[in-house]
Amino acid sequence: MMEGSISNRIRVLRFVNGEMTQAELGERIGVTRQTIAAIEAGKYSPSLEAAFRIAHVFNVPLAEVFHWEAKAAAGSKPVA
Amino acid sequence: MAFREKIGWLSLIAMAVTFGPYFAIVGARSPSGEGLPNLRQLKLLAVMAVAQMLIRGVGHLLLRRGAAHDARQPLDERDRAIMHRSITSAYYLLILGMIVVGCVMPFNSSGWAIINAALFMIAVAETVHYGVVVVSYRRQT
């Protein structure tokens, strides 16, 4: 199985959307402030539905909020 | 700290200060000559159970007063995932314990030894349940 890590731009998107608070974003997508903090810190991966809701709140495509990067396997050659 | 994590800590502390001493006392005491009914042990169990209810009840009230908004929030997907993980861990442990207590212990033990073993497995399962809750919230914060 390919391994990878998920990163996100929620902090930046909150900033450009009028310094939206974590609590406000959480309220709009139906999760707690602590869950938004965990998602932002990359410690919790939200469900696909919650991810789409977050993107919808910021009015951007999902790919602009979340990124997945594959980890290079040991000994594998980079693809040219 | 999330409200539900605080509840997890409260429950762990309540378990430690009530059933911790209970099992320390009954474990240290010699089981010989303690047939059923053992009113002294039954009284001790009742005191610990009431103390646990009081600690949890008062703790709940105080925590709710301190974080009224958080307490009113319904479980979100992360809370549900943590709850599912913790209940699953505790369930399998409890099943394993009950198999040992109900199917193995009757061959070599009797009376309060079996009752205390069953209570111990319930206490361990509860501790694992709230322990997984606390650890999960800690890791995801």
Pair of tokens at residue B33 = 């000559």
State yes or no: pLDDT of B31 exceeds 50.
yes
Residues in chain B closer than 8 A to A26 (CB atoms): 76
Evaluated on CA atoms B4, B6, B10, B15, the torsion sign reads positive
In A, minimum Cα distance to B76 occurs at: A31
Express as a percent the part of chain A with pLDDT over 90: 70
pLDDT of residue A76 exceeding 80, the answer is no
pLDDT grade, residue B53 (50/70/90)?
Answer: very high
Average pLDDT of the residues of chain A: 88
The model's pTM: 0.82
Q: CB burial class (10 A; 0-12, 13-18, 19+) of residue B34?
A: middle
Looking at residue B39, its pLDDT comes to: 82
Q: What is the CATH number of domain A4-70?
A: 1.10.260.40
Distance CA A17, CA A56 (A): 12
Pick B76's closest partner by Cβ from A35, A37, A41: A35
- Token code pair at residue A31: 């999760």
Tokens 């903090």, located at residue: A37
- Token digits of residue A77: 């050659």
Mean pLDDT to the nearest integer, A26-34: 92
- pLDDT reported for residue B3: 87
Alpha carbon distance B34, A2 (integer Å): 60
A37 closest CB neighbour out of B77, B139, B141: B141
Using CB atoms, pick whichever of A26, A43, A50 lies closest to residue B140: A43
pLDDT in tens, B105-136: 888 888 888 988 999 999 999 999 999 999 99
What pLDDT does residue B126 have?
95
Please check the confidence at residue A75 and state whether its pLDDT lies above 60.
no
Instruction: Select the more confidently predicted residue: B132 or B32.
Output: B132
User: Are the C-beta atoms of B108 and B120 separated by less than 8 Å?
Assistant: no
User: Which of 51-80 (A) contact B at CB < 8 A?
Assistant: none
Q: Residue B141 and residue A35: Cβ atoms within 8 Å?
A: no
Model confidence at A40: pLDDT above 60: yes
Q: At what angle do helices B3-28 and B112-139 cross, to 10 degrees?
A: 150
Give the pLDDT of residue A77: 57
Task: Identify the helix (H) or strand (E) that includes residue B140.
Answer: none
d(CA A13, CA A18): 9
Q: Is the pLDDT of residue A71 over 90?
A: no
Helix ranges (H only) for chain B are 3-28, 39-66, 68-72, 77-99, 112-139
What residues of chain A, 18 to 57, have a C-beta less than 8 Å from chain B? 26, 30-32, 34-35, 37-38, 41, 43-44, 46-47, 50
Query: Is residue A59's pLDDT more than 60?
Result: yes
- The beta-carbon neighbor of B141 closest among A31, A34, A46 is A34
What single letter denotes the amino acid at residue B85? Answer: R
Question: Is residue B56 a contact partner of residue B14, using CB atoms and an 8 Å limit?
Answer: yes
Cα–Cα distance, B10 to B128 (Å, whole number): 14
Q: Which residue of B has its CA nearest to A26?
A: B76
Select the residue from B7, B78, B82 to test the A interface by mutation, using most A Cβ atoms within 10 A.
B78
Q: Which of A38-47, B66-75, B87-96 has the lowest mean pLDDT?
A: B66-75
Domain range list for chain A: 4-70
Predicted confidence band of residue A80 (pLDDT cuts 50, 70, 90):
very low
The answer to whether A43 contacts B2, with C-beta atoms less than 8 Å apart, is no
Tokens in use for B130? 């709230």
> Rounded to whole angstroms, how far apart are CA atoms B82 and B70?
17
Distances in whole angstroms, Cα of residue A59 to Cα of each of A14, A15, A65: 12, 14, 10
